[in-house]
């Protein structure tokens, strides 16, 4: 029995020793694997249908970023529930550094303040980078008797409840911009939600509504079919460079812009976040990428991971205050 026990103890000792020796090798292998990122295709989940601004900006920027990293990229459109379907999918996917999520302002700064979501933007994801921002025109029906922003505000104040503004739907940023305008100017425009931006723009053109804050108004503003006294964004729109931004006119100081960015699931290796963020930063410097962004009504507005996370946190608080003050409910 003594000999047998000694043999067992020796085996246990050798097994434990091998485990101790193997541990540094495992850690080193993991580090090497992370250091080689990316060594296979990167997947970007876009939680909206093809053809919209989130889809267009993501494809333009990330195709170039992936090329800079020496890998291919798969774009996976998983639309529905205001982005929640795609977000939940990425949340439940392995956080291995090869699956990322396109986000919009609404997904991480607005909708969480309304009905319960199947994800928590603050706890389930980490910011990778902001990519681009949309210009949004304050489109106004030509029949509205005003020739500049101050005249429009004066007319709206004199006619409370008689001016309707359309949006792409409840709790979208296109609604929030109208509510912000009400709060900042003291006017009382009435919100009319639509099932998308396009039908709202059609009613704006026909005079069923009088105002719309949306990228879909831009072509009609350029063609002279709509008035425009301000654009929303950090810079003027090249299509009408004589039209100042809201901020240049002392408004638009609360809330945030209609931007797009990339998130990663919590637990994603930091090397993947850092490298992808850097590649996005280089991609948006490409003149060809910038030209295509501007043609689509967007402009590069890159922020690295830390800066983007700070923007999300700040605008999340700002939009929560707007939702409370405007008493927005679904």
The per-residue pLDDT for 28 is 32
CA distance 298 to 259: 9
Check whether the bond before 231 is cis (ω within 30° of 0). no
Average pLDDT of the chain is 88
The CA-CA-CA angle for residues 323, 297, 120, to 5°, reads 35
Q: Where in the chain is the domain with CATH 3.40.190.150?
A: 42-134+257-326
Between residues 255 and 164, the one the model is more confident about: 164
Q: Is 190 exposed, middle or buried (0-12, 13-18, 19+ CB in 10 A)?
A: middle
Between residues 131 and 172, the one the model is more confident about: 131
Of the pLDDT bands very low, low, confident and very high (cuts 50, 70, 90), residue 330 is low
Q: What is the pLDDT of residues 24-54, one digit of tens each?
A: 333 333 433 445 899 999 999 999 888 888 9
For residue 196, how far is the Cα from the chain centroid?
A: 17
Of the pLDDT bands very low, low, confident and very high (cuts 50, 70, 90), residue 80 is confident
Given a cut of 60, whether residue 6 has pLDDT beyond it is: no
- Which CATH class, in words, describes the domain spanning 136-232? alpha beta
Task: Write phi, then psi, for 116 (nearest 5 degrees).
Answer: -60, 140
CA distance 137 to 218: 6
Which residues are CB-neighbours of 165 under 8 A, at least 6 positions away?
178, 181, 189, 190, 191, 192, 209, 210, 211, 212, 213
Q: What is the pLDDT of residues 262-272, one digit of tens each?
A: 999 999 999 99
Of the pLDDT bands very low, low, confident and very high (cuts 50, 70, 90), residue 186 is very high
Which residues are CB-neighbours of 324 under 8 A, at least 6 positions away?
none
The per-residue pLDDT for 49 is 84
Point out the least confidently predicted range of 9-18, 77-86, 304-313. 9-18
Which residues are CB-neighbours of 53 under 8 A, at least 6 positions away?
134, 215, 258, 260, 296, 297, 298
What phi-psi label fits residue 97: left (phi over 0), alpha (psi between -120 and 50 degrees) or beta?
left
The per-residue pLDDT for 35 is 55
The per-residue pLDDT for 170 is 80
Q: Where in the chain is the domain with CATH 3.40.190.10?
A: 136-232
Average pLDDT over residues 83-103: 96
The per-residue pLDDT for 321 is 87
The per-residue pLDDT for 234 is 82
Of the pLDDT bands very low, low, confident and very high (cuts 50, 70, 90), residue 7 is very low
Point out the least confidently predicted range of 115-119, 185-189, 206-210. 115-119
Point out the least confidently predicted range of 121-130, 213-222, 268-277. 213-222
According to CATH, the topology of domain 42-134+257-326 is D-Maltodextrin-Binding Protein; domain 2 (3.40.190)
Which residues are CB-neighbours of 293 under 8 A, at least 6 positions away?
57, 60, 61, 132, 284, 299, 300
Given a cut of 60, whether residue 23 has pLDDT beyond it is: no
Between residues 52 and 102, the one the model is more confident about: 102
Given a cut of 70, whether residue 284 has pLDDT beyond it is: yes
């Amino acid at each position: 029995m003594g000999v047998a026990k000694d043999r067992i103890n020796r085996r246990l000792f050798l097994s434990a020793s091998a485990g101790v020796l193997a541990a540094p090798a495992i850690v080193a292998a993991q580090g090497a694997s992370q250091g080689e990122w990316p060594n296979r295709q990167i997947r970007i989940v876009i939680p909206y249908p093809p053809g919209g601004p989130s889809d267009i900006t993501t494809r333009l920027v990330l195709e170039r970023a992936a090329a800079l990293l020496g890998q291919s990229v798969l774009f996976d459109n998983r639309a529905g529930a205001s982005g929640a379907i795609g977000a939940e999918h990425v949340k439940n996917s392995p956080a291995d550094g090869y699956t990322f999520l396109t986000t919009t302002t609404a997904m991480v700064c607005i909708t969480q303040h309304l009905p319960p979501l199947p994800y928590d933007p603050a706890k389930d994801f980490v910011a990778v980078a902001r990519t681009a921002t949309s210009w949004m025109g304050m489109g106004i029906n030509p029949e509205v008797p005003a020739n500049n922003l101050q005249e429009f505000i004066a007319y709206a104040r004199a006619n409370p409840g008689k001016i309707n503004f359309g949006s792409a739907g409840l709790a979208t940023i296109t609604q929030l911009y109208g509510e912000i305008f009400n709060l900042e100017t003291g006017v009382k425009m009435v919100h009319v939600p639509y099932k998308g931006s396009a039908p709202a723009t059609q009613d704006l053109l026909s005079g069923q509504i009088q105002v719309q804050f949306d990228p879909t108004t831009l072509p009609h503003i350029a063609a002279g079919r709509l008035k425009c006294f301000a654009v929303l964004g950090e810079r003027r729109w090249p299509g009408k460079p004589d039209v100042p931004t809201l901020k240049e006119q002392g408004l638009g100081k609360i809330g945030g812009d209609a931007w797009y960015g990339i998130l990663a699931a919590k637990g994603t290796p930091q090397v993947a976040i850092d490298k992808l963020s850097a590649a996005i930063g280089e991609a948006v410097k490409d003149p060809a990428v910038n030209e295509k962004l501007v043609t689509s009504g967007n402009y590069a507005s890159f922020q690295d991971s830390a800066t983007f996370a700070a923007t999300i946190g700040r605008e999340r608080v700002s939009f929560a205050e707007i939702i409370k003050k405007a008493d927005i409910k679904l």
